[in-house]
Every structure is written in structure tokens, then in C-alpha cells.
């Protein structure tokens, strides 16, 4: 079983983070961090209220014993240390503030620290930046991280798999993110293949 860190930050696109979490929990232990300003966005975009006793609510919703939740201010969490072994980290969606913090080694909260640890330990890091259009600063930060080996995976829609609704589009993007981490799924019809 893989040991993966997932962060959901304060950019529109919370349904992508929630869907990635659902899929990861099928095959991995997930160490989840949600930035404090993201809870209202999750509620607005998905109808899920995870405020209050967040870990209890998450365990109740997902029924997973392999889900571990950390407050983004908890700099003593295991995932803040390189000696805690993981198979990598995903930030879905990734705000431009979080991306800038990671690109510049700022590590102001647990999300940025866990990403910093992922980089320094040479582990797989994927960011799904959610902004449009990108400014030159955004692009420079992404290029800097890409040159360090970070996967930059903006949630860009595709239509060759003929999505029937919004869930089909979310599943496609989630599937592409899982592909990048080598996690098997059947979330969309591949080009030239069967569902």
C-alpha cells in the first residue's frame, strides 16, 4: 500500500481534490492537509462541511482507516519530517500562493513544509495549479518547480473520451493525476481503448 500526502488548498477546484482523495483511499494510506481558508470553498463547491471535528467527519464520510488528517498549522506532524517515508505528495488544487511558497522554499505552513520535504527527499511532487489566466509570475514559479522535477498538472478538460456530464470531466482529470502517480483506475476511456 502506498503512503501518499494529499493537500487541498484555497483555489476553486475543490471537487478535484475530493475526487482524488476518494480514489487514493482505495489503494493508499492518505495523509491529508486542508489549508484553513479552503473549508468554505469545499462547502461552496461540493456541499461538504468538514469544519469542526474534521478528522471525525472525514473518517465518517470515507469509512477509511488509512486516512490521516493534519491541521495546516501543525508543523510537528510526521509528514513535516523527511524521516517519515512517503511515496510522494499531490496538491489538488494548488493555489498560486501555495505554489509561490513552494517555489521559493518559504514553508510557512504544513502544506508548504511537506512539499519542501518531498522536494528535498527527491520524492514525487505533483501540483494541480488552479488559476486562469496565468501571470508571468505564476508561469515562472511553475517553470522553476518543473525544472526541479515537480509535475505541473493543471486541471485542463479534454473531450475525446466524450464526457456526459461534469462528473465525467472531473473523473478524466482525476484519472490523469492518478496515472502520473502510477495508480491504476478505470475512470475514463483511453484514446483508442475501451472504458
Question: Using one digit for the tens of pLDDT, what is the confidence trace for 52-65?
Answer: 999 999 999 999 89
In a domain, 84, yes or no: yes
Residue range of the domain that includes 52: 2-159
Q: Which pLDDT does position 149 carry in this prediction?
A: 97
pLDDT band at 193 (very low <50, low <70, confident <90, very high): low
User: How many Å apart are CA 56 and CA 130, to the nearest integer?
Assistant: 28
Q: Which residue has the higher pLDDT, 31 or 195?
A: 31
Supply the pTM of this predicted model.
Answer: 0.95
In a domain, 138, yes or no: yes
In a domain, 112, yes or no: yes
Residue 61 CB neighbours (<10 A): 14
Our count of domains for the chain comes to 1
In a domain, 185, yes or no: no
In a domain, 187, yes or no: no
Q: What is the CATH number of the domain that holds 13?
A: 3.40.50.1950
In a domain, 184, yes or no: no
Cell 523527511, located at residue: 82
User: How many Å apart are CA 115 and CA 121, to the nearest integer?
Assistant: 10
**Residues 107-136: tens digit of each pLDDT:** 999 999 999 999 999 999 999 999 999 999
In a domain, 136, yes or no: yes
In a domain, 179, yes or no: no
pLDDT band at 2 (very low <50, low <70, confident <90, very high): very high
Give kind and range of the element (H or E) at residue 4.
strand 2-8
Amino acid at each position: 500500500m502506498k503512503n501518499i500526502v494529499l493537500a487541498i488548498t484555497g483555489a476553486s477546484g475543490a471537487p478535484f481534490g475530493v475526487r482524488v482523495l476518494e480514489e487514493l483511499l482505495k489503494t493508499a494510506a492518505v495523509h491529508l492537509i486542508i489549508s484553513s481558508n479552503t473549508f468554505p470553498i469545499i462547502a461552496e463547491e461540493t456541499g461538504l462541511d468538514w469544519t469542526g471535528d474534521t478528522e471525525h467527519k472525514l473518517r465518517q464520510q470515507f469509512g477509511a482507516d488509512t486516512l490521516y488528517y493534519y491541521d495546516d498549522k501543525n508543523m510537528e506532524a510526521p509528514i513535516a519530517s523527511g524521516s517519515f517515508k512517503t511515496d510522494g505528495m499531490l496538491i489538488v488544487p494548488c493555489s498560486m500562493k501555495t505554489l509561490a511558497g513552494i517555489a521559493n522554499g518559504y514553508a510557512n505552513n504544513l502544506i508548504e513544509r511537506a512539499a519542501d520535504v518531498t522536494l528535498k527527499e527527491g520524492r514525487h511532487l505533483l501540483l494541480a495549479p488552479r488559476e486562469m489566466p496565468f501571470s508571468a509570475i505564476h508561469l515562472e514559479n511553475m517553470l522553476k518547480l518543473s525544472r526541479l522535477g515537480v509535475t505541473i498538472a493543471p486541471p485542463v478538460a479534454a473531450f475525446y473520451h466524450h464526457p456526459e456530464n461534469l462528473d465525467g470531466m472531473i473523473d478524466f482529470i482525476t484519472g490523469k493525476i492518478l496515472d502520473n502517480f502510477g495508480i491504476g483506475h478505470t475512470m475514463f476511456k483511453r484514446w483508442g481503448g475501451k472504458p
